[in-house]
Structure 1
């Protein structure tokens, strides 16, 4: 296997473009998912997503409410994917140099993804706190942030640094989500390429879509509960409702049962599967284009 160094800026730019395209397309579903995740007033039922959609549609400014929190979501997703792919490819490159012709295995892909995910969470958690709070309420809600800047200043003034890192632990635990997804995705690509003419073939857009969709479904089914816990820790009134991460888990189970940890799963899958396909198709093709141009 070649150990020729790659231009890592290409991966960062491709990740940025992928995050931007994905967020613009699926933001409304993201908003519904967040509101389902923080809803601890009633038990799991399938009609709640429709109720939220109807509430948004009947508001005074439907478009404005549907795209509330778009800026922090864009900032969060673009910087996250740029950082994630940059560090993921950087770590893989170093491992490839270390192993030489031996190549990388599943554990190497998993470790690379977990390390890059941990770095990314540390950098972007403050943005996700603001995004979660803006998506969880309408713009007319008492105390709702008027903008991303307003959210940043309000958190800094009233909660300090600690406020920006609410939900950090479950986010860190959630690094496993991306790690599982990248491991499955890489192994599917490797498996397919190895079946072709010694791997000398370019994957098509349909193959990127198939591999990314399957890997995302697998990761989501395993790791979704952490997203519910994280969203509840990041809500506006978290201090008044929960004492700690373990308290979130305990109260959610006692009040809502196991299904409480899967609130918002259906709109999440409707959001993340096509979103992941868009992300990886844009990422892979942008990377291919930039490498060709460079």
Structure 2
């Protein structure tokens, strides 16, 4: 298998599998966060905890492929010409844009179900298409990319920096990957909370026209709640992302190492 195909295969399998596992575990908690940010009055019930999960899981592998293949390939190329930090920054930017475009239609349906606008995936999808057309599936895409670019840049720079520290001449252990993933995810999550909040408002607006664009949404949130309003749910988002980062990077690095060792 060529280096290119090997990179594609490892990124897809390890990234997709790790992403699906983490998504399944944290999904109920993500639903609570979305409802908190959307000011939904829908009470949380365990029977509704996984509403929208199948649709979200369907996005896992294509999003993993879009992010990790573009990130890994671009990073390997840029490392020959620019500093590691710049390489990680550019790679994370491009990978975020690629992944965001792929994931947004899945997020629109998932989040509208999470806040109780729809109860079934089929009705959610048909309603979005009926009221807003195909463009409705990509509402909030720019906002998601504006959120994901700084999030992934911060997360990957911190994670790569922690992994690059001196571990006595050895590669980081699984426990160090877990710790590094948690730290990187937590820092990135806290700093990008306002944009994540704006994205939730846009996606769950449901065509009412209350939230129309990123800048307008941020101004409206600030007008209604000031600076604390912009960081609504930051504790929950930070802790949730730390847990997700710990599980994802620990799983990703373990699977990646296993796949390479077995020369698949």
* TM-score under structure 2 length normalisation: 0.90
Q: Measure how far apart 1:236 and its partner are.
A: 4.2
Residue 63 (structure 2) aligned to one of 80, 88, 97: 80
Residue 90 (structure 2) aligned to one of 99, 111, 114: 111
Q: How far apart are the structure 2 equivalents of 1:243 and 1:284?
A: 39
CA RMSD of aligned residues (A): 2.0
**Unmatched runs of 5 consecutive residues or more in structure 2:** none
Q: Measure how far apart 1:292 and its partner are.
A: 1.2
Equivalent residues of 2:12, 2:69 under 8 A apart: yes
Q: Measure how far apart 1:7 and its partner are.
A: 3.0
Residue 126 (structure 1) aligned to one of 75, 90, 105: 105
Match of 2:163 in 1: 189
Residue 158 (structure 1) aligned to one of 117, 128, 131: 131
Residue 283 (structure 1) aligned to one of 245, 252, 258: 252
2:52 is aligned with 1:69: yes
2:232 is aligned with 1:263: yes
**Unmatched runs of 5 consecutive residues or more in structure 1:** 41-50, 57-61, 138-142
Equivalent residues of 1:35, 1:136 under 8 A apart: yes
Q: How far apart are the structure 2 equivalents of 1:178 and 1:134?
A: 26
Equivalent residues of 1:33, 1:264 under 8 A apart: yes
Q: How far apart are the structure 2 equivalents of 1:144 and 1:118?
A: 28
Q: How far apart are the structure 2 equivalents of 1:37 and 1:283?
A: 29
Name which one, 1 or 2, has greater alpha-carbon Rg.
Answer: 1
Equivalent residues of 1:18, 1:78 under 8 A apart: no
Give SS of 1:39's match.
Answer: coil
Q: How far apart are the structure 2 equivalents of 1:125 and 1:69?
A: 14
Q: How far apart are the structure 1 equivalents of 2:220 and 2:238?
A: 25
Equivalent residues of 1:11, 1:82 under 8 A apart: yes
Match of 1:20 in 2: 20
